[in-house]
Chain A
Amino acid sequence: MRHPRLLLAAALAAPLVLAACGGGSDDGPVTLRMTTWSANEDHLAMLNEIADAYIADHPDVEAIEFDPLPFDGYTSTLTTQIAGDNAPDLAWILENAAPDFVTSGALVPLSETLSGTDGYEYDDLVPAATELWREGDELYAYPFSTSPFAMFANDDLLAEAGQPTAAELIESGEWNWDRVVEAGAAVHAQTGADGIVIRDFDYTGWDNLSTLWTGWGASAWSADGTECGFDDPEMTEALTFMHDAVFEQEAMPGPGTTADFFAGEAAFTVTQISRAGLLAEAPFAWDLVPLPAGPSGEYAVIGQGGLGVLTVAPHPEEAADFLAYMTNPENSVKLAQFFPPPRASQLTAEVLGQANPLLSAEQLQAVVIDRIDSGVVKPSHTGQAQLDQAVRAALDPLWTPGADVEAVLADLCAAIDPLLAR
């Protein structure tokens, strides 16, 4: 009477064993898969156009699939796919995941492939833009999008509150954080709309605050990533300023309050220029200007996206070759419609203007081109996900009216020191 059980066990085990043995690779034309975090139809159409042109010339590649993953949790989803032996060949990589991907050996080195490609003009890549994606001289991912943060201003709301417009403040030399907070507070007091929104911060995405504290000369950690910067005097001053702006002057919406600049609910917002698209039908007058100066002067912060080939990918060689094609000077111009390129020769108002008809040449010059070289990239570190979580949790106590900024920041450093030391 044990037979049925044995049979059952055998029947169940068979397919598992078979599957474990199978799975060899075939030599026919390959299909490449690339993950992105944009499901935007225009983006995908452009990518497919580049891919189709490549396939026509390369019989060894049968098809190239673009696989948009949700932006929220993008790195987690990508990692899960890798863990499940289902890695894509190419992947967009968020800047905050760059150190993890670059130093872990997850990415295929690209310098040789790129510089060896005819007409690639490898030296055209701006060093400031590729720094995050290199280890020594070796490039591990191509920063396809290098986009400075800037400030959008709602001129109607400012006028309603009797405040000068952003352009007028720049003109009069008053374009600094103190004055902006003053204007924001006035807008909030007189119109009920909110003053300044640091977009995507929402009291969780703390790395977006680097768009503020960089103006104080503060940074999350030292350049070599070993020392916590949150308890430095500059940082304490910057976050005290922010805390006061939220709770004293009420120039920024408090935690748990939603205000969307692009729906006309705030006077200023700090974000990347690509969001200008959201203003296509805006029923209010707006302007795009560089970030206001902080106590340490004028500054710029850039956000990046990288494109890399995964070591564990099914077809890394073909993928690297496609990456070289996709980012060559000719295709880079196409990419530049949506993503500011890392190529010095293409950082012109003309190239950037083709995709941003809403922005004037002067705006692009001031916000993007003049600042891309000096831009500080948003903070990133190996073990970013864990650090990110630890900093978010430790910063939470700061966002209450009576918070002791210095004490919170000291605790924060105590919490992340062991992580930085790893």
Chain B
Amino acid sequence: MRTERSRRAKLALYGLLCVLAVPFVFPTWWMVTSSLKPANEIFAFPPTLWPADATLHAYGRVFDFAPFGVQYFNSMYIALVVTVGTLAVSSMAGYAFARIKFPGHNLLFLVVLVGLLIPSEVTIVPLFQMFNRFGMVDTHWPLLLVPIFGAPSVLATLIMRQFFIALPAEIEEAGRMDGLGRFGLYWRMALPLSRPALGAVAIFSFLHSWNLYLEPVVFLSTPEKFTLPQALTQFTDAYGGPMWDVQLSAATMTALPVLIVFIVAQRQFVEGLAHTGLKG
């Protein structure tokens, strides 16, 4: 009786999960399959779930049309540099704010937190002028420096600080006994223990950089320097008419690799995220 009820409950639960999963899976499915359809089938109504006449034609045209390979490389290397840079800057700052009682550390931390509250749209004009003064417009510097040192890295610092605050004091005591200085404590004791938090910061910063849209649109004007989100909106003919199939193929190529990497490594990602100080 009881097992029968729990079996039903289980089935109901699975059913609910499956229904809920549809809007999460369908867009990606549709994007991938539509990118294989010829342009006129994309708008077939009702839509076909699988292309009647699959073709990779549009994928080739992506590369004809834009320096897509270079743009892919740009996005990739910028995201990687931003990730590594953010890990360094935010773990050090997070460590300092959590474990070193230097004068004004609480006040300074509050000041840093202001960055969390500023939409990038607010500061884009002055930033543009500042970078222009240094001749850095239409270079990748703004897309590297601002995420690593500016407002976007504040969330990372917050995550790291919350994590380091929770580290038991005894661990550092032991390190001190071994004669470690501040840097030693940070590098040898704190960092190795903070892998989950570092993992979360890495995902956040990678995705943030990878998704950046307004900044590249404002800062970059040479197609060879474009990043992917910016490139994605440019698949139009010379008069602004959209080229749907090519655009979808490009979108698939930007989304799928990251998605696959994520699915393969998702356990570390999600668990890293789950074990951060963000849980309070």
Query: Residues on A close to B: CB < 8 A?
Result: 1, 15, 19-20, 23, 35, 37-40, 43, 67-73, 77, 80-81, 83-86, 199-200, 258, 260, 263-265, 272, 274-275, 278
Partner of B217, one of A20, A77, A278: A77
How far is the CB of B247 from the nearest CB of chain A, in Å? Answer: 12
- Contact: B125 with A83, CB < 8 Å? yes
Interface of chain A, main secondary structure: loop
What are 29 sample pairs from A and B whose C-beta atoms fall under 8 A apart?
Answer: A19-B133, A19-B134, A23-B133, A37-B240, A38-B238, A40-B238, A43-B238, A70-B234, A71-B239, A72-B234, A72-B236, A73-B217, A81-B137, A81-B221, A83-B125, A83-B128, A85-B129, A85-B132, A85-B133, A199-B241, A200-B240, A200-B241, A258-B43, A258-B244, A260-B39, A265-B40, A265-B43, A275-B239, A278-B237
Residues on A with C-beta less than 8 A from B238 are 38-40, 43, 71
Query: Once the chains are docked, how many angstroms separate the CA of A73 from the CA of B40?
Result: 27
- The chain A residue with its CB closest to the CB of B38 is A263
Q: Which of B222-266 contact A (CB under 8 A)?
A: 222-223, 233-234, 236-241, 244
B118 to chain A, nearest CB (A): 19
Distance between A271 CB and nearest chain B CB, rounded to angstroms: 8
Closest to A20 in B: B133
Interface size on B, residues (CB 8 A): 26
- Other A-B pairs, 9, CB within 8 Å; known A70-B234, A70-B236: A35-B221, A39-B234, A68-B223, A71-B236, A71-B238, A84-B128, A200-B241, A258-B43, A274-B239
Residues of B near A38 (CB, < 8 A) are: 238
CB of B111, distance to nearest CB on chain A (Å): 12
Report chain A residues within 8 Å CB of B174.
none
Q: Are A77 and B128 in contact (CB under 8 A)?
A: no
Chain A residue contacts of B207, Cβ below 8 A: none
Which of A1, A43, A84, A275 has the largest number of chain B CB atoms within 10 A?
A84
**B63 CB to closest chain A CB, in angstroms?**
14
- Closest residue to B226 on the A side, CB-wise? A70
> B134: nearest residue on chain A (CB-CB)?
A19
Shortest A112–chain B CB gap in Å is: 31
CB within 8 Å for A80 and B128 given contacts A199-B241, A200-B241, A263-B39: yes
